[in-house]
Amino acid sequence: MNQPVELMMIVLVLTDLLLLGSSRVAGSVRLMAAQGLLLGLLPLLAHHGLGGHALVLAAGSTGLKGLIFPWLLRRALRDTETHREMEPFVGYVASLLIGLAVLGASCWLGARLPLPGPVVSPLALPVGLFTIWVGLFLIVARRQAITQVLGYVVMENGIFTVGVVLVQGQPFLVELGVLLDIFVAVFVMGLLVFHISREFEHMDTDQLDALKDWSS
Amino acid sequence: MIGMLLFIPTLAGAAAFGLRSDGPRRALLVLAALLHAVLTAACWLVPAPPAWNGWLQLDAVGLLFLSIASALFLAAALYAPGYLHRAVQSRRAEPAGLGLLPEVAPEAVFTGCLLLFLASMTLVTVSHHFGLLWVAVEATTLASAPLIYYHRQPRSLEATWKYLLICSVGIALALLGNFLLVVAATPPGAPAGPALTLGELLAAAPQFQTPWLKAAFLFLLVGYGTKMGLAPLHTWLPDAHSEAPSVVSALLSGALLNCAFLAILRAHQVCAAAGQAAFSQSLLVLFGLLSMGVAAVFIIGQPDYKRLLAYSSVEHMGLLALGVGLGGAAVFGALLHAVNHSLTKALLFFAAGNLLACYRSKRVADVHGALRALPVTGALWVLGLFAIVGSPPFGPFLSELTMLKAAFDQGRWAVGAGALALLALVFIGMSRPMLAMAQGAAPATADLDRARPGAERWFTILSPLVLAAAVLVLGLYLPPWLTAQLQHAAALIGGAP
C-alpha cells in the first residue's frame, strides 16, 4: 500500500468525473492541467526513488502536460472563434451516468486480472483504464476540434498511469521518445485547430463531413 | 551502416527546411533518396551490424520492408520534382483572383517532411525494441500529416485532421499494448522482466503469462492495425489517400502501410514464440477477411478513382494479414505480395496523378479516353489495373495464388473460397470504372492541360514505367536471391520454408 498514490488515484477519478460533467471548455482545460500536474508526481511516488531518471521524467511530464499543453490549448481557445460551451453529442448527466457504469466495469476488470507480483497500488489499473475510456469518450462525444485534442491528452494520461504503475523501469530513451511524440502530436493538432477555425469559421468537427462514400 | 541509413534522410530533411531556392532542394531530395537506396542495396550484400545494444538491427523481415520503402521513395523522389514544378506552373498560368486551384503548402516544408517521413519509416524497419518501434510508428504519422495537407483546401484539412486524430489514438492504444507486454513478460514475483528487445522477448517468451500476452497482442493489433488500414479501423485511409498529392498517396499506400504491418508482425513473432500462434493467427485471419469484405463493398460503385485505389489498399492489407494468419506457405506469399502490392499501387497512384493533372477531376465519370489523350499513362493505368486485380502474368497474381493455394492445401476451404469470392468482386468493381476511364474518345483539347496536350514529359512517366517493368518481371521470374530472402524472412514469422 502506498498512501499518497492511493490518494492520487482517487483525485484522478474525481477529475475524470468532473471532465465528463464539465460544460465549459476553459474549465476542462484547467482540469486537464490539474491531471497533468498530478501525474507528473506519480513517477516520484510510485518507485520510492528520487534518482535522476525519475526526476527528469517527472519534470518533463509535469512541464508538458501540466503547463505547455494547457497553455497551447488556452491560446487556441483565445485566438479562435471557439464556442465556450463543450457542445456535447451526449448530455452531461448521461455522460456522468455512463461514466459511473464504466468506472464500475473497470474496477471489476481490474480485480479479475491477475497482477504479477506486488504493485504500487491496486487502484492504479482500474483508474488508468477508466481515464483512457474518459479520453476516448470525450473525443467521440464532444463536438469541437479542441475538445478532441483535450480528449487525446486525457487518454494519454490514462495510459501513462497504467504504464508508470505496472511497468517499472522502462528505458529512459523510450520514455523521452514517447513524451516527444506526444508533444509533437498535440502541437500539430493545435496548429490544425487554427487552420480548421480559419477555413470553416468554426471548429465543429461534425461539419468535417465532405469526405464520405455514401451521401445521404 | 544503420546509423547512416537514419542519418542521411534526417540531415537532408533538416537541410530542406532551410534551403530557399527550389532547384537545389529538389536535387537534394533526389540525391538523398539515391544515397538511401544505394545504402539499402549494400545491406543486401553486406549484413549490417547491430547498433545501440541491439536496439537497432536489420533482420530479414526488416531488410525486406526497408527495401520496399527505399525503392518506392526513390521512385517518388524522381516523380516529385516534376509534380511540384507542375503545381507551381499551373498556379502561375491561372489568371489571378480566379481561385480555381487551391493554394499549396510551402515546398520547403513539403520536401523536408517527405525526407523526415523516410527517416521515420527507416527507423520502423530497423528498430528491434518495442518502445522504439512505437516511437518510430508515431513519428511516421507526425511526419506525414503535413504532407496530406499540401493542397490548402478544406477537404485536405478534413482528411489531415481525421488521419492525425484517428492514427494518434490508435497508436496510443498500441502503447498500452506495449505496457501489457511488459507485464506479460515479467515473471510472477520478479522485480523486472526481460528488456523489450525482440531477441530477449523471443528467448523468454515460453514463460510469458498467457492472459496478459493475449491482451497485449490485441491492443498492439488494434493500435498498429489502425495505421495499417485494417477494417473496421480503416476510416482515415480513403480520405487521406484521396486528398493527399498523388506522390504522397503512393508512399502512404506502398510504404507506410507496410511499416505498420511490420509492427504487427513483430508482435506476432512474440506470440508465436510463446506458443500462442493459433490465437494471433485467428485474429489476423478475421481482420484480413473483414478488410477484404469492407473494401469490396466500397469499391463497387465508387465514383472517385483515388478513393478506389485507397480501398484497394485496404483490400490488399487484408490479404497480407490473411496470408500471415494462415501460416505455412502463405507467409511467403504474403511477404511477396507486400512487395508486389507496393510496386503496383505506387505505379497506379503515379498514373492517377498524371490523370488528375490532365483532367483536373478525381471523378471517374469525368475521365474518359485516357489511352488517346495520354497514351503512356493510359497504358500504364490499364496495365496497373490488371496487375492489381491479380491477373497473370503480373507479380500480384503469383503471390495471391501462393496464398490461396496454401489456404486450400491446409483444408481451410471456407477461408480460401471466401477470399477468392471477394477477389472476384473486387476484380469486377475495379475493372469497370478503370477501363471506362481508359477507353472512349479523348476529350476536346480545351479541357486538357493548357501546356501541351498529349505530350507527356519524361519525368511524369519514368517512375511508373520502371515500376511497371518490375511488376511484370516479378510475375514472370523470381530472382533466386529474392526468393532466398523471402524464405528467410518467412521462417522468422512462422512460415514453413
497 residues of chain B, pLDDT tens digit each? 888 889 999 999 999 888 888 888 899 999 999 999 999 999 999 888 888 788 898 889 999 999 999 999 999 999 988 888 877 777 777 655 555 566 777 888 899 999 999 999 999 999 998 988 999 999 999 999 999 988 888 888 889 989 999 999 999 999 999 888 888 888 776 666 777 888 888 888 888 888 889 999 999 999 999 999 998 888 899 999 999 999 999 999 999 999 999 999 999 999 998 888 899 999 999 999 999 999 999 999 888 999 999 999 999 999 999 999 998 889 999 999 999 999 999 999 999 998 888 888 888 888 888 888 888 889 999 999 999 998 888 999 999 999 999 999 988 999 999 999 999 999 999 999 999 998 888 776 545 554 454 457 778 888 999 999 999 999 999 999 999 999 999 998 876 54
Q: Is residue A189 part of a domain?
A: yes
Per-residue model confidence as pLDDT tens digits over A176-209: 778 878 888 888 888 788 777 777 766 667 777 7
Per-range mean pLDDT, top range of A143-152, A160-169, B354-363, B423-432: B423-432
Is residue A48's pLDDT more than 60?
no
Best residue in B129, B133, B134, B175 to probe A by mutation, most A CBs within 10 Å? B175
Q: CB distance A159–B179 less than 8 Å?
A: yes
Q: Is residue A211 part of a domain?
A: no
Query: Taking CB atoms and an 8 Å cutoff, what residues of chain A touch B176?
Result: 132, 159, 162-163
What is the mean pLDDT of the segment spanning A33-50?
Answer: 79
- Residue B413, pLDDT score: 92
Using CA atoms, how far apart are residues B334 and B348, in angstroms rounded to an integer?
20
Query: Taking CB atoms and an 8 Å cutoff, what residues of chain A touch B312?
Result: none
Q: Is some CB atom of chain A closer than 8 A to the CB atom of B465?
A: no
Query: Taking CB atoms and an 8 Å cutoff, what residues of chain A touch B175?
Result: 159, 163, 178
Q: Is residue A216 part of a domain?
A: no
Per-residue model confidence as pLDDT tens digits over A6-15: 888 899 999 9
- Residue B77, pLDDT score: 93
User: Residue B203: CA atoms inside 13 Å, Cβ hemisphere, count?
Assistant: 8
Domain count, chain A: 1
Give the minimum alpha-carbon distance from A199 to chain B in angstroms, rounded to a whole number.
Answer: 6
Rg, Å, chain A Cα set = 18
Nearest CA in chain A to B197: A171
Nearest CA in chain A to B304: A213
Q: Is residue A70 part of a domain?
A: yes
Question: What residues make up the domain containing A67?
Answer: 3-113+121-205
The three grid cell numbers given for residue B43, joined into one nine-digit string? 545491406
Q: Is residue A57 part of a domain?
A: yes
Residue type, B20: R
| Predicted ipTM of the assembly | 0.88
Q: Is some CB atom of chain A closer than 8 A to the CB atom of B160?
A: yes
Q: CB distance A162–B179 less than 8 Å?
A: yes
Q: Is residue A139 part of a domain?
A: yes
Q: CB distance A117–B191 less than 8 Å?
A: yes
- 3-class DSSP assignment, residue A142: strand
Residue, of B153 and A121, whose pLDDT is higher: B153
Q: Is residue A210 part of a domain?
A: no
CB pairs under 8 A between A and B: 123
Query: Taking CB atoms and an 8 Å cutoff, what residues of chain B touch A129?
Result: none
What is the mean pLDDT of the segment spanning A40-49?
Answer: 73
- Residue B143, pLDDT score: 92
Tell me the CA distances in angstroms from B438 to B367, B427, B472, one per residue in order: 8, 16, 20
- Residue B203, pLDDT score: 85
Per-residue model confidence as pLDDT tens digits over A81-119: 666 777 788 888 888 999 999 999 998 888 887 776 666
The three grid cell numbers given for residue B492, joined into one nine-digit string? 522468422
Query: Taking CB atoms and an 8 Å cutoff, what residues of chain A touch B182?
Result: 166-167, 170
Using CA atoms, how far apart are residues B78 and B462, in angstroms rounded to an integer?
8
Q: What element of type H or E holds A143?
A: none
Using CA atoms, how far apart are residues A156 and B176, in angstroms rounded to an integer?
9
pTM given for the model = 0.92
Nearest CA in chain B to A148: B165
User: HEC states along chain B?
Assistant: CHHHHHHHHHHHHHHHHHCCCHHHHHHHHHHHHHHHHHHHHHHHHCCCCCECCCCECCCHHHHHHHHHHHHHHHHHHHHHHHHHHHHHHHHHHCCCCCCCCCEECCHHHHHHHHHHHHHHHHHHHHECEHHHHHHHHHHHHHHHHHHHCCEECHHHHHHHHHHHHHHHHHHHHHHHHHHHHHHHHCCCCCCCCCCCEHHHHHHHHHHCCHHHHHHHHHHHHHHHHHHHCCCCCCCHHHHHHHHCCHHHHHHHHHHHHHHHHHHHHHHHHHHHHCCCHHHHHHHHHHHHHHHHHHHHHHHCCCCEHHHHHHHHHHHHHHHHHHHHHHCCHHHHHHHHHHHHHHHHHHHHHHHHHHHHHHHCCCEHHHCCCHHHHCHHHHHHHHHHHHHHCCCCCCHHHHHHHHHHHHHHHCCCHHHHHHHHHHHHHHHHHHHHHHHHHHCCCCCCHHHCCCCCCCCCCHHHHHHHHHHHHHHHHHHHCCCHHHHHHHHHHHHHCCCCC
Give the minimum alpha-carbon distance from A156 to chain B in angstroms, rounded to a whole number.
Answer: 7
- Residue B241, pLDDT score: 92
Q: CB distance B182–A170 less than 8 Å?
A: yes
Query: The dihedral of CA A181, A187, A191, A197: what is its sign?
Result: positive
Q: Is residue A107 part of a domain?
A: yes
Smallest Cβ–Cβ distance between A162 and the set B135, B149, B176 belongs to B176
Q: CB distance A210–B154 less than 8 Å?
A: yes
- Residue B454, pLDDT score: 47
- Residue B453, pLDDT score: 46
Query: Taking CB atoms and an 8 Å cutoff, what residues of chain B touch A210?
Result: 154-155, 158
Q: CB distance B165–A139 less than 8 Å?
A: yes
- Residue B387, pLDDT score: 94
**Taking Cα atoms as reference points, which of B385, B402, B400 lies closest to residue B349?**
B385
